Structure 1
Amino acid sequence: MSAPTLLSQPEHEIKRSFLLQRAQPAMNGLIDGSLSTLAPIFAVAFATHQPRYAFFAGLATAIGAGVSMAFSEGLSDTGDLTGRGNPYLRGAITGAGTFLGGVLHTLPFLIPQYRVALIVALATITFELLTLAWIRWRFFGTGFLRSFVSIAIGGAVIAGVSAALGAAG
């Protein structure tokens, strides 16, 4: 890793503004979408062994979570006191990130073969986790391995609980 670059005051403010107003809302959305949608998708997949039903559960969850997170972020503060920028823009970024994070590992359930759909979904989730770790490393200076492990633990806990619920059904 290279030595930190010293930025002038205006450059520092531009970077800080970008992180607070764009990158952080996007990151919140992507992480929430990637993790929160795992439970319903995998619970339905393991309970029914029907990829089609898992797809509908995932799509509904991604849409609902995206709308919920958009409103949550957009209504959290005006941005005047915190410097976090326009609440509508932050809400749109967070909502879109949440939807994207949730729909990516939903799409493999369009594959009609149950086992193939599961394998492709798990590969997609691995790709998502690696991407999230890279974004945290790139924009927030968090170690890549540390980011990956922390996000993967959250995903593993959620997937394990949802798999157990689905297997019980």
Structure 2
Amino acid sequence: MRDFSQLSEREILALAIGNEEEDGRIYLDMAERLREDYPATANIFKEMAAEESEHRRELLELYREKFGDHIPLIRRQDVRGFITRPSIWQFPKPNIDDVRKIAESMEQETQRFYRNAAARATDVSIRKLLGDLADAEAEHEHRADALSESNLTADARSTEDKHAREQFMLQYIQPSLVGLMDGSVSTLAPIFAAAFSTGDTFAAFLVGAAASLGAGISMGFAEALSDDGSLTGRGTPYVRGVVTGLMTTLGGLGHTLPFLIPSLHMALIVAIIVVVVELSAISWIRWRFMDTSPLRATLQVAFGGALVFATGVLIGGG
């Protein structure tokens, strides 16, 4: 691997040609991945790919004029400190905002590359072209805005943003809510049953910790294996599984930790307060993200929690 500062002008041009070709293909990959859900944004990336193709043509003409027809294979990974690019095809379901940020960072990195390359060039025509391409990359942000105005109308942007919110709901909010509800509600019975039956706060803590971790692992695997996201658009199953498992564990540990307090009476009071906070948070999330009325969300969650809590108390007290 060689440093960028060690490359000759011929090698820099060869690297730039490969860079423009790869960037164009990345933009086309973005367009293809976004075509179905975000057609207006996909058109923007197709036009940006066309611009990268024009840059590559200009570089090829100059290279042929200066060095002939053979272009050495110089890859990004062969140059230390050279700009890197993401593999869009590896993204399970690209987030629209993430893709736009990636495109912006690509233009900024390419601009820095051309600035540095132009500063090192001694040939006037090479220096001029590299400088012009650096200016062109700097203008791409404005060009992207112009493309957005022509392709991404207010209605199209509103539709895409709505779809992005729906994807966020399916991939993160819904699994988080399922996990939090299961962890907060299902662990109530074993924890309070252990507390009332043994009168030992540490024993209740052990039962709660085991129930929370076990439920987290179980729910995580259940969510990950239930749907690969290819048809429902719910995103990567592993991410959903991790989110669900962590939130399930968190929901159970919230009212388990108070049982580290030696006093059973105080531990019960604190645990009940934590349970009220947890159920209130669940009700708020359902109202905020699931379009459930505040009263309905509160009554549904409170009723379910009360049933499970009563079950634990009855079993433990009996």
Same topology, TM > 0.5:
yes
1: CA distance, partners of 2:276 / 2:199: 21
Q: Given the alignment, which residue of 249, 254, 260 partners 1:99?
A: 249
Q: Which residue in the other structure is 2:47 paired with? A: none
Q: Which residue in the other structure is 2:261 paired with? A: 111
Q: Which residue in the other structure is 2:169 paired with? A: 19
CA RMSD of aligned residues (A): 1.1
Size of the aligned set, in residue pairs, is 163
Runs of 4+ residues over 6 Å off in structure 1 = none
Q: Is 1:132 paired with 2:287? A: no
1: CA distance, partners of 2:257 / 2:244: 20
2: CA distance, partners of 1:28 / 1:141: 15
1: CA distance, partners of 2:293 / 2:206: 36
- Secondary structure of the residue aligned to 1:112 is coil
1:55-134 counterparts in 2 under 5 A? 55-134=205-284
Deviations 1:9-42 (A, max 9, x none): 1011100000000000000000000001001101
- Secondary structure of the residue aligned to 1:156 is helix
Identity of aligned residues (%): 50
Say which structure, 1 or 2, has more relative contact order (CA 8 Å, 6+ apart).
1
2: CA distance, partners of 1:55 / 1:49: 11
Q: Given the alignment, which residue of 197, 210, 227 partners 1:47?
A: 197
- Secondary structure of the residue aligned to 2:235 is coil
1:107 deviation in Å? 0.6
1:161 deviation in Å? 1.1
Q: Which residue in the other structure is 1:147 paired with? A: 297
Q: Which amino acid aligns with 1:149?
A: L
Unaligned runs of 5+ in 2: 1-154
Deviations 1:107-156 (A, max 9, x none): 10000000000000000000101111111111112112211111111111
2: CA distance, partners of 1:51 / 1:148: 29
1: CA distance, partners of 2:249 / 2:294: 24
Q: TM-score, normalised by structure 1?
A: 0.94
- Greater C-alpha Rg: 2
2: CA distance, partners of 1:149 / 1:155: 10
1: CA distance, partners of 2:249 / 2:195: 19
Q: Is 1:38 paired with 2:188? A: yes
Q: TM-score, normalised by structure 2?
A: 0.50
Unaligned runs of 5+ in 1: 1-5
